[in-house]
């Protein structure tokens, strides 16, 4: 189970499992062997990385190399031509679906960028995150991509710090960032700040909120209060609920005793929000419903009449849809939405690898580029706290689906 800090990841559902594509990519001792990718179709120009293209416009060169499997657990051979990068994700257990999806996408990125500068080895964190990290370090990896869950990040970060190997994690729990650990996960506080700013710019002055109990709800409510205050708005009321039907009804009733709010933030998944919104609308029909990045993976919201006209902020899906189509063509199943993090982590690493001498420590300072990076999920940059700041778009829900009403910025300081 994901802990509360990883709620955004856990709430987006599971996907069917598929094999992990491998090019110049080795499966670590902690995971099971997988089949080598022999061929792959061309990739359209998808992304720019700090004003420099990182995905070729033309077809990638075919990568044909056997999967490296070390049955005896010995260190992998030294690679003098490419940087050894470890990918730590769950490949077995309850979270195997999302872990394999991230790994598949990361491997596609290796293939799409030619596979000449990076050799990626995948390690299974489900059998022990610390042990997987220790094996990765012993194998000579100079950078760790992952893990996924905050509890695993805590276990791996100490191993990485001791070996001076940084982590670029897929968690969204800000409490684990810093001191050599960087977070690429979608942080809910940023989507709340974006949607509040958008609402304020369109005449919303008074806000109310409905948040789930627990750590995620606490962080969401704190971010909401701060965003409203910083934007010059007014918080009229805030209620929490435990996601049971009775608790939701009680929270909406209590919220309804307040007056004057023009918008209500429902800081929960799309599935839960579809239960909450109709009750809110029955009491205050004219209120604007607001949401977070959790809604981005729930297309059924468009069929819920109470959600008509609702706004939410998230990363853009335009390039992700292209990645999803290619992923399905290769694996026969759709990817988990977080698969894009694996793809973008490889793009970022490939960009930095151009000026990074093989065999030396990863140049951590390059992650602090104020211009940031660009990938499948748009522009992002790491702050001094190690958390990825993302350029987010605002979408509006209608019976016909989602539409972009405020595009995400293309970069930072431009």
Mean pLDDT of 202-222: 96
Block residue for tokens 């061929």:
39
- For the chain, the distance separating the N- and C-terminal CA atoms, rounded to the nearest angstrom, is 40
| Cβ–Cβ < 8 Å for 146, 89 | yes
User: Per-residue pLDDT tens for 89-145?
Assistant: 999 999 999 999 999 999 999 999 998 899 999 999 999 999 999 999 999 999 999
Q: Phi/psi class of residue 14: alpha, beta or left (left: φ > 0; alpha: ψ in -120 to 50)?
A: beta
| Predicted confidence (pLDDT) at residue 228 exceeds the cutoff of 50 | yes
The percentage of residues in the chain with a pLDDT greater than 70, rounded to a whole number, is 80
Residue 274 has pLDDT above 90, yes or no: yes
Residues 6+ apart with CB under 8 A from 398: 302, 308, 309
pLDDT at 80 over 90: no
Paired strand residues for 406:
394
Is residue 241 over pLDDT 70? Answer: yes
Write the DSSP assignment of 160-198 as a string of letters.
Answer: HHHHT--EEE----GGG-BTTEEE-S--HHHHHHHHHHH
For residue 308, how many C-alpha atoms fall within 13 Å in the half-sphere facing its CB? 9
66, 38 Cβ separation under 8 angstroms: no
147 upstream amide cis, omega within 30 of 0 = yes
At 76 the pLDDT is: 56
Three-state secondary structure call for residue 144: strand
Q: Which of 35-44, 126-135, 170-179, 235-244 shows the lowest mean pLDDT across its residues?
A: 35-44
Q: Which of 185, 340, 191, 201 is nearest to 269 (CA)?
A: 191
Going by C-alpha positions, the residue among 89, 184, 76 that lies closest to residue 137 is 76
Report the distance separating Cα 206 and Cα 204, nearest Å: 6
Average pLDDT for the chain: 84
Supply 404's token pair. 């972009």
Which pLDDT band holds residue 256 (cuts at 50, 70, 90)?
confident
Q: pLDDT tens-digit profile of 180-194?
A: 999 999 999 999 999
Helices (DSSP H) in 65-214: which residue ranges? 96-112, 129-138, 150-163, 188-201
pLDDT tens-digit profile of 320-330? 999 999 999 98
HSE (side-chain half, CA atoms, 13 Å) at 350:
31
Assess contact for 209 and 181: CB atoms under 8 A.
Answer: no
Q: Nearest-CA neighbor of 258 among 278, 238, 272?
A: 238
| pLDDT confidence band for 205 (50 / 70 / 90) | very high
* Spatial distance between the Cα atoms of 270 and 202, rounded to a whole number of angstroms: 24
Count of residues in the chain: 414
The alpha carbon of 289 is separated from its chain's Cα centroid by a whole number of angstroms, namely 24
């Amino acid at each position: 189970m994901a802990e509360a800090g990883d709620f955004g990841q856990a709430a987006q559902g599971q996907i069917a499992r598929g094999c992990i594509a491998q090019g110049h990519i080795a499966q670590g001792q902690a995971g099971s062997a997988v089949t080598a990718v022999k061929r792959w179709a061309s990739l359209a120009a998808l992304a720019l990385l700090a004003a420099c293209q990182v995905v070729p416009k033309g077809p990638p060169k075919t990568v044909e190399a056997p999967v490296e499997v070390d049955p005896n657990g010995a260190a992998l051979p030294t690679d003098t031509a490419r940087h050894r990068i470890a990918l730590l994700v769950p490949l077995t257990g309850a979270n195997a679906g999302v872990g394999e999806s991230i790994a598949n996408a990361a491997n596609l990125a290796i293939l799409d960028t030619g596979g000449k500068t990076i050799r990626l080895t995948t390690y299974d964190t489900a059998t022990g995150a610390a042990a997987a990290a220790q094996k990765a370090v012993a194998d000579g990896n100079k950078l760790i991509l992952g893990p996924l869950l905050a509890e695993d990040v805590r276990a791996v970060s100490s191993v990485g710090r001791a070996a001076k190997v940084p982590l670029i994690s897929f968690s969204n729990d800000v409490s684990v960032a810093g001191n050599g650990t960087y977070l690429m996960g979608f942080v809910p506080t940023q989507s709340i700040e974006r949607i509040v700013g958008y609402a304020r710019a369109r005449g919303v002055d008074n806000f109310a909120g409905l948040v789930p109990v627990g750590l995620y709800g606490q962080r969401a409510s704190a971010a909401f209060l701060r965003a409203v205050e910083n934007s010059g708005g007014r918080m009229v009321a805030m209620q929490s609920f435990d996601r049971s039907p009775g608790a939701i009804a009680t929270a909406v009733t209590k919220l309804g005793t307040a007056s004057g709010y023009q918008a209500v933030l429902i800081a929960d998944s799309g599935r839960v929000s579809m239960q909450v919104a109709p009750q809110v609308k029955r009491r205050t029909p004219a209120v604007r419903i607001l949401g977070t990045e959790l809604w981005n993976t729930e297309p059924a919201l468009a069929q819920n009449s109470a959600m008509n006209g609702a706004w939410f902020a998230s990363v853009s899906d335009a390039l992700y849809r292209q990645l999803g189509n290619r992923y399905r063509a290769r694996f026969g199943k759709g990817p988990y939405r977080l698969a894009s993090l694996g793809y973008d982590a490889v793009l970022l690493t490939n960009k930095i690898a151009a000026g990074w001498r093989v065999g030396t420590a990863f140049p951590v300072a390059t992650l602090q580029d104020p211009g940031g990076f660009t990938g499948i999920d748009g522009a992002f940059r790491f702050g001094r706290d190690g958390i990825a700041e993302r350029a987010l778009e605002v979408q509006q829900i209608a019976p016909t689906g989602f539409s972009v009403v405020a595009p995400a910025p293309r970069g930072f300081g431009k």
